[in-house]
Amino acid sequence: MITVIFVRHGETFWNVEQRYQGQKDSPLSPLGREQAAKVGQFLSTRAIDAVFCSDLQRAYFTAKRIGERHDLEPQVDPRLREMSFGVWEGKTRGEVIQEYSQLWDARSRDILRTRIPQGELPGEVVERFHSFLREQTENGKSTDRTIVVVSHGGALRLVLSSLLHIPLEKSYGIRQSNAGVSELLCFQEGTECRWEAVTINSTAHLG
């Protein structure tokens, strides 16, 4: 059995301003730094074999606070990045609705096939994230290990939905709070994983 602990990064300044971040980098706010420290403390009692994170600084900083409790340096992987929102990045929802009203309406009707210019489709995010997960769960890896994966709200909603067989267009029903923790178990069945959720978006450690 392989345990995967998914963590969303701490709050950023753009989270506070409700801007699309995507693959642009906004630094953690003071609260976000506090959240990163708290999630590090929360996971300090777990036996963790490796910490992986997106190459975006908000994820890396959060992963550092987790890894330092275990003498582990986060292993950076761009496949764990947030979904790219293309030309919407840096804009608020209100600005997007005003500047891209037709695209906003089209995406509201069909989020899976409506591409934001220079952005990714949800299925593409899932594909790259699954590529990473397959490497970590394939035969030949230790079948009794725990890893932490620090990523981003949109990407994590999509990936958790895919692993739990929830339609991707319903992924917004899975809240991913800043520094929230979701834990899934991978039971290897041949070359595939059967995924089982232990907890989704636990935030009690932030109180």
CATH code of the domain covering residue 60:
3.40.50.1240
Active-site annotation, residues: 9, 82
pLDDT at 142: 61
- What tens digit of pLDDT does each residue of 123-145 get? 999 999 999 999 998 765 567 89
Spatial separation of the C-alpha atoms in residues 5 and 184, rounded to whole Å: 6
Q: Read off the tokens for 126.
A: 């899932």
Predicted local confidence at residue 131, as pLDDT: 96
Strand segments (E) across the chain = 2-8, 50-53, 75-76, 145-151, 181-189, 192-202
Residue 119, both tokens: 């952005």
In a domain, 43, yes or no: yes
The domain of 188 spans: 2-84+121-206
Is the CB of residue 68 less than 8 Å from the CB of residue 40? yes
> Which segments of the chain have a pLDDT < 70?
139-142
- Does 90 map to a domain? no
Residue 60 belongs to some domain of the structure: yes
> For residue 76, what pLDDT is reported?
98
Tally the domains of the chain: 1
pLDDT of residue 144: 86
| pLDDT for residue 166 | 97
Residue 189: per-residue pLDDT: 78
Residue 13 within any structural domain of the chain: yes
> What sign results for the dihedral spanned by CA atoms 98, 100, 102, 104?
negative
pTM of the model: 0.95
Tell me if 168 sits within 8 A of 83, measured CB to CB.
no
What's the confidence (pLDDT) of residue 141?
59
